[in-house]
Amino acid sequence: MKSILVHLDASPRAAVRLALAQDLARRHGAELTALYGVLPALLATPWLAGEAMAYAASMLADLDREQQSRARITFDKAAGRGNLGWIDASSAPYPTLLQHALTNDLVVMGQADANDALTGGLPPELVPSLITDSGKPTLVLPYVGSFEPVAADVLVAWKPTREAARAVAASLPWLRRAARVHVASRPEGNDADADRGAALQHWLRLHGVSAPIVPHQLGPGEVGEALLSLAADTGAGLLVMGCYGHSRAREWVLGGASRVVLGSMTLPVLMVH
């Protein structure tokens, strides 16, 4: 991991993401860039039209400057603790974020919080859209709580798919430092289950994961809810999982487990599409 991109908005929670990203960058000797990506208030206020838009334009421009100033203060405080790059993507937040995500090893983002009035306007479905469009490992932090960059217990959601395999590969920097690795899967009821579990464990050992690997079987019911419950039971500090879904013209379709976890997450989640 040699380059990390962290998304900043105007909320105080951006400081939590930035601090964790800085810690990760120090541990891995990685370059860190902060990207400020908030929609201009005029674009985030679709109900304005005609004379009302012209009247409000100046006020909304002041709001844009205020929001960017809050983010810049957060950045400047962090910059005093180490090298840190700044990108202002306020004119085209999503295209700029996607462009830079493609050339970074990890993207750090925050869980959407509709009740945070200080965040500023964000592109719709920002987190799942970026995960899917970029294909890059994305570490998503909940909108409440404080978190360590290295988790003693890591929970891996495993099934034999491309998305899960890519997520596990991206999580190796965390798995190599873990005290315990928990692997959750839903059995398919055939002899291949044991072979797949053994193959995953063998692969992890080949890649320097020395921690005990503890298997867990998920029962019936919603997978996302079961994963979050198991994360709480095991004291996991990181959940690793594939992000399932796809985008279509004017519509975003997200898999059930991905949707539940992104909506109700209580711990950092490393996702890859």
Task: Give pLDDT tens digits for 80-91.
Answer: 887 899 999 988
| pLDDT band of 172, cuts 50, 70, 90 | very high
- Residue 51, pLDDT > 70, answer no
Same-domain check for residues 160 and 116: no
Same-domain check for residues 129 and 163: no
Say what the pLDDT of residue 49 is.
54
Say what the pLDDT of residue 251 is.
47
Residue 147 lies in a domain: no
Q: What are the Cα distances from residue 180, in Å, to 69, 150, 176?
A: 42, 12, 10
Same-domain check for residues 158 and 256: yes
Say what the pLDDT of residue 27 is.
94
Please provide residue 69's backbone torsions phi and psi, each rounded to the nearest 5 degrees: -65, -40
Residue 252 lies in a domain: yes
- Secondary structure letter of residue 92 according to DSSP: S
Say what the pLDDT of residue 43 is.
57
Residue 146 lies in a domain: no
- Residue 253, pLDDT > 80, answer no
Residue 85, domain CATH? 3.40.50.620
Residue that terminates a domain, selected from 92, 119, 141: 141
More confident residue, 217 or 54: 217
Same-domain check for residues 265 and 159: yes
| pLDDT band of 41, cuts 50, 70, 90 | low
Same-domain check for residues 59 and 161: no
Task: Give pLDDT tens digits for 217-249.
Answer: 998 888 999 999 999 999 999 999 999 876 554
Same-domain check for residues 25 and 80: yes
Residue 7 lies in a domain: yes
**Averaged pLDDT, 160-175:** 96
Same-domain check for residues 8 and 132: yes
**Averaged pLDDT, 8-37:** 94
Same-domain check for residues 46 and 69: yes
**How many CA within 13 A on the CB side of residue 231?**
24
Say what the pLDDT of residue 5 is.
98
Domain of 211, in residue numbers: 153-272
DSSP for 177-209 reads: T-SEEEEEE---SSTHHHHHHHHHHHHHHHTT-
More confident residue, 112 or 155: 155
Same-domain check for residues 68 and 188: no
Residue 106 lies in a domain: yes
Say what the pLDDT of residue 249 is.
44
Residue 50 lies in a domain: yes
Same-domain check for residues 168 and 120: no
Say what the pLDDT of residue 117 is.
78
pTM: 0.89
If you average pLDDT over each of 10-19, 44-53, 203-212, 242-251, which comes out highest? 203-212
Same-domain check for residues 157 and 128: no
Least confident of 29-38, 48-57, 133-142: 48-57
Q: How far is CA 155 from the centre of its chain?
A: 15
Name the domain count of the chain.
2
Residue 148 lies in a domain: no
**Averaged pLDDT, 138-161:** 95
- Residue 164, pLDDT > 50, answer yes
Summary mean pLDDT of the chain: 88
Q: How far apart are CA 152 and CA 141, in angstroms?
A: 17
Residue that terminates a domain, selected from 141, 176, 204: 141
In single-letter form, the type of residue at position 95 comes to P
Same-domain check for residues 88 and 218: no
Helix (H) or strand (E) holding 147: none
Residue that terminates a domain, selected from 141, 172, 198: 141
What are the structure tokens assigned to 262, written together? 């992104």
Say what the pLDDT of residue 192 is.
67
Are 38 and 93 in contact by the 8 Å Cβ rule? The answer is: yes
